[in-house]
Structure 1
């Protein structure tokens, strides 16, 4: 009996790694899986390369005596950092079980196992899958029969059945004690807490991987539970801004209203931001808009993608230009800031369709100084429907995918060079026409005036200002 209780009292160390990136978003995915391990049995350590001065040293120290090393893998440069860390871990601890989850393994659970340093992959929602893996490892067993995993069995790879999305109410709330919250506040430059209240997306955008990972399903935390959780977090950390990282926060308008009521009823004093589709903004009644603002709504992010009616249909966005303009008008009416994100460089996109997108950007920027319109190049995210059109021009190996810069990289090879130059010049001047330049400095004010004139008159020849800025103040990659 004594031996039995001694075994039960062992706490197994589990090390989770968040790869490097220039953003300082809190590692919510790792928090979710770490928070759902029994703290009486598992000692969870999260190492975040985004905030660590020496991530490699921190990981190598942490894995001493660990049961498992888990890593989240996002296609692009974070994937490269994840691979480098996995290889270093396997060199130091060849016996240590490694588990990879996140977007890339969710899309390629079997192919990801081509990497020798990865033992198990997890596809889709990971809370329950990872907990079951840890239970098996702690008992000295294997992962056979666990839904959502893929693993090697001798010379073959076994892929288990998929795991369906569960309501977030089925899981423990995120335990922010697992990360140094104040350090994130410091690096963000504001007391901003990141939070996820729902997972998945019901829509079918052809450029997006969501439909393949979550099967167009959507699950959420109930408004009442969110009220309890967020009040506790606010009273502990006194954050001043709450940043919802949901794919589509405004999916159910009545739930949004209930959450706002929870904030107001509990006397919570912070601003908040969330994601919204244009058609959701149109359908949102004015009384809920006003309720959102009263509860602290400061900004929404709307994925517009294109200003072309034809491209809107082709990418299966299932919204309209009119809906975008109507939502913009509602945001202006209620004094809500907006990030309208755009994508150009789709396969077979015509110059006229690109010009329609640039035109819509100008229209939106002219509507309010609180509207931002970042422009990105289409990148064939693995697994998305549109990626099939350029499948022969996409990476083949994990290392190749790691070199793919999804945020700040150039256009695909299918975009003609002259069109690429046109877009690049527009992107530069559009950013500085109303962007965050140093208005107190003469050079900043002059650049803004010149950029506005060029944008207003569509004059982009001889971009001397672009050359000077990019050579005097180069920007880091954003992946």
Structure 2
């Protein structure tokens, strides 16, 4: 029996299908018993539940023979470390396996942890199957691509990268292994929103992106009709009315976008996806109209900077004119754009911040419905040069206990990385700007601020926005704090915060 664990990464009301573990389970040979324990479900005590399952199976012909955890940087790492420690202490003979982005990007600190036996880097389905052969004594671990482990002398073996496969070469998600209804929740997209991933990887080379670090510059997509068939099952059998796609790049090109639009038309769902501004800027009006009719409600774009010079430094491959064009097209076709921006240019952080803030104002003038997502630059290990030519590993912890300290969690989540070029004044300027903008133009995601708070915020922000004055908006900050039903939820999945006030419910 294989135990797959999803350490807590978010609050229960934000839980979503544990797609990565479902993919591993689907890849296991027929007849293999496996279960998922999801720490994001309400009332879950992962250690107690895992212990009960392991103990109950101990005297059976099929005891738990491996425990596998998926681990993302940030809050999930914080959950995974003490859980792995405790499980290894109680069950020293059961292998503990880590997969997910953290171990793929930072294998050394994971391999330094005596309570983790194996690390799967990159795509895990085939590597996991071969690792089971290793655990059964039928295979040499050094022959397994994508596998890393600690050797007898304490040194680290990091195996060669595995050539990964696309979703059409893998089995469909085994939805029968989870309670689907408990994962469908209200968002601004609908009353019963789910998630799905229809592709793997990304073909572009942004020099700050962890996806490129793990998968390289390539992408493989699932056929549009197969995506639609899986979604149709969730719509028909479980009442799903909307979906958030986890794909890092949802549209390969216009032909692919049209295939998706045609396949989604009969579904009657609303959806959110991530796309490139250069790709979107080349779409015809007919394609935009098709996507809107097929249910596209919001599209997230990594705009990243208001400077063509900086976009080139990032190896982004896009231009500010393309960003402006997408803002105009989304307004014309009544689709809400979300633009993310990365603040903290290592060379000229102050000038780049001012340029980008002015550019965001231009976008807001073109499309007042534009949503803003801000990040502070955190260097991520790259295959080639890193944005800003900085060493992404310098100063990073060598052990997991340090990685889960609050300062490093803020670093991993891009909330507050302490970097020498990111002056606190610049960070405060960005945060003040964001507060003024989102007070003047309340976000559609904001279901936590009471109606009176939004009204007062709009009034107070009018003058500041008109005068481009973002200096320490103390009164605005006080109103924002007092009008909150709940704290700002920085642990919502992706960018889908709870929507209108009526949807702001805890599950």
TM-score in terms of structure 1 length: 0.90
Structure 2 residue aligned with 1:15, among 4, 12, 15?
4
Partner of 2:308: 309
Alignment partners' CA distance in 1, 2:76 and 2:475 = 32
CA change 1:39–1:19 in 2 (3 A) is: farther
Structure 1 residue aligned with 2:148, among 128, 147, 150?
150
| 2:431 is the alignment partner of 1:424 | yes
Offset of residue 225 of structure 1: 2.1
For residue 244 of structure 2, give the secondary structure of its aligned residue in structure 1: strand
Asked whether the equivalents of residues 31 and 174 of structure 1 are also in contact (C-alpha less than 8 Å), the reply is yes
Let me know the Cα RMSD of the aligned residues.
2.5
1:207-260 Cα deviation digits (max 9, x unpaired):
112222111111111223223322223222221102111000012322221122
Alignment partners' CA distance in 2, 1:168 and 1:476 = 32
Offset of residue 187 of structure 1: 7.1
Moved more, 183-192 or 66-75: 183-192
Alignment partners' CA distance in 1, 2:469 and 2:325 = 29
Alignment partners' CA distance in 2, 1:328 and 1:466 = 28
Offset of residue 426 of structure 1: 1.0
| Structure 1 residues 46-195: aligned runs within 5 Å | 46-49=37-40, 51-64=42-55, 65-137=63-135, 143-155=141-153, 156-186=155-185, 190-195=191-196
Alignment partners' CA distance in 2, 1:187 and 1:56 = 29
Asked whether the equivalents of residues 120 and 150 of structure 1 are also in contact (C-alpha less than 8 Å), the reply is yes
Offset of residue 142 of structure 1: 5.8
| Structure 1 residues 326-341: aligned runs within 5 Å | 326-341=325-340
Offset of residue 123 of structure 1: 0.8
CA change 1:130–1:187 in 2 (3 A) is: farther
Asked whether the equivalents of residues 25 and 34 of structure 2 are also in contact (C-alpha less than 8 Å), the reply is no
Structure 2 residue aligned with 1:478, among 471, 491, 501?
491
The count of corresponding residues between Structure 1 and Structure 2 is 466
Alignment partners' CA distance in 1, 2:289 and 2:182 = 34
Structure 2 residue aligned with 1:33, among 2, 24, 31?
24
| 2:34 is the alignment partner of 1:43 | yes
| Structure 1 residues 295-374: aligned runs within 5 Å | 295-374=294-373
For residue 400 of structure 1, give the secondary structure of its aligned residue in structure 2: helix
Asked whether the equivalents of residues 110 and 159 of structure 1 are also in contact (C-alpha less than 8 Å), the reply is no
Partner of 1:404: 409
| 2:283 is the alignment partner of 1:277 | no
Which sections of structure 1, spanning at least 5 residues, go unmatched? 1-11
CA change 1:110–1:353 in 2 (3 A) is: closer
For residue 464 of structure 2, give the secondary structure of its aligned residue in structure 1: helix
Moved more, 112-121 or 152-161: 152-161
Alignment partners' CA distance in 2, 1:390 and 1:429 = 34
For residue 390 of structure 2, give the secondary structure of its aligned residue in structure 1: helix
Alignment partners' CA distance in 2, 1:471 and 1:239 = 34
TM-score in terms of structure 2 length: 0.85
1:326-364 Cα deviation digits (max 9, x unpaired):
111111111111111111013123322211111122222
Asked whether the equivalents of residues 192 and 243 of structure 1 are also in contact (C-alpha less than 8 Å), the reply is yes
Partner of 2:461: 451
Offset of residue 81 of structure 1: 1.2
Partner of 2:247: 246
Partner of 1:287: 286
